[in-house]
Amino acid sequence: MRHPHWRNAMAAEIQALKTNHTWILQPLPPGKKPIGCKWVFKTKFRADGSIEQHKARLVAKGYTQIEGLDYHGTFAPVAKLVTVRCILAVAAARQWHLFQLDVNNAFLHDNLNEKVYMSPSPGYSTPTATPIFHLQKSIYDLKQASCNWFFKLCSVLLAAGFIQSQADHSFFKLSQGQSSTFILVYIDDILIAGNDLPAITNFKTMLAHRFHIKDLGKLKYFLGLKVAHSPTGISLNQRKYALDILADSGHLGTRPTTFPMEQNLKLNNVDGDLLPDPSSFRRLVRRLIYLTITRPDIVFLVNILSQFMHQPRQPHYDAVVRVLCYIKFTPGQGLFFPASSNLQVSAYSDSDWASCPLTRRSTIGFLFSLALVLFPSVLRSNRPSLVLLLKLSIGLLLPLFVNSHGLKHFFMISTFTIPNPCSYTMTTKWLFTLLRILFSTNV
């Protein structure tokens, strides 16, 4: 390591592991095989692009673990991004406080239930002749690390009186009279929203006594989303992420265009030459999918392009470049959550009968709007009658959307209004058919 900032980062990581009593040194028991480890280095940036810190992480080679012996459970829920948008929409309308916390060395806080042995880290000198680490607590990249950390945090929140959402298991709420505090967890990033500042402060103090917490203050940057506050509302965009996509793909200097898609463009899997290296196309589409969090204007086209990731051709790549040119024209475009919203939920739908040139399936688009913020979806159906059914059933879809995200139950918004544009009596057969097309992308 030539640069001292990386050596300092490694020393800080080793010190944190020792302080947390992550391992003990002991001889390797007979019949046991230790897993390896390695160093991972990362430079963390702020929202404005400046360097925040140089981070060194000691991670285990979890791919060498054996299921049933070294680990059992691996699943850990993370926050749904639609829940993030719902929280911001309600927080803007109700003038709630928004804060963000970061948990330092989050995966090191829970004890291991299995006996896992790890080889010493590169460059680490042990004081004994038996340099084998018997892990007492989770370490990054262990198969069970995410699962152990989430349930450790979940147990702390439930013990403090929080209620866990059944629609989004990473969403928690605590109500005491008129005071309400909401917690959204995405691995080691915690978003706090509430109407009572002292209650939020007490929660931060309680959490700091249990974990090593870094208070990031008012919510500004969360999961690559830039949050800007103003008296008129909250704006959300991914400008830095969009510019990173352009820079990484070499299109930062491309000529911008005002529309993301050519008119009457019909892509198929026959026309054009196959791409010699499809990895670049797939990487661009995957990154554009994440960009649709704040860009509903490109949802439809990204949905179309994602259907050709298995065998992309030159016209598909040209369409992706066109999207990049459009992003260059509007890199900071995003969502705005107005403070004057009445939090009315609305829904819109449209369809294009038998529009798919490959399967002759109908394309159905529908979106839900909460506080003028869009939640779009696109699906295809080979049954034209379902297109009419979807349009006639907006009155049913809206309650499903509201209940699926737990809006009424958790936000306790008495003024939630669900317009019912049409009274429609639906048989059980058609009801289940509707539910099937609602939660499926390929019917």
- Phi, psi (deg, nearest 5) at residue 17: -65, -40
How would you classify the pairing of strands 345-352 and 163-164?
unpaired
- Residue 388 token pair: 């009419």
Token pair 């390797």: residue: 28
Give dist(CA 200, CA 180) in Å, integer. 9
Q: What are phi and psi of 10, to 5 degrees?
A: -65, -40
Residue 350: strand pairing partners: 365
First to last CA, the chain: 55
The pTM assigned to this predicted structure is 0.76
> What tens-digit pLDDT sequence spans the chain (443 residues)?
677 888 888 888 888 888 878 888 888 888 888 888 888 888 887 767 788 888 888 888 888 888 888 888 788 888 888 888 888 888 888 889 999 998 887 776 667 888 888 888 776 666 555 678 888 888 888 888 888 888 888 999 999 999 888 878 888 999 888 888 999 999 888 999 998 899 999 999 999 888 888 888 899 988 888 999 988 989 999 999 999 999 998 888 888 888 888 877 888 888 888 999 899 999 999 999 999 888 888 888 888 898 888 889 999 999 999 999 999 998 888 888 888 877 777 767 777 777 777 777 777 776 667 755 555 555 444 444 444 444 444 444 444 444 544 455 445 443 444 444 333 333 444 444 444 444 443 33
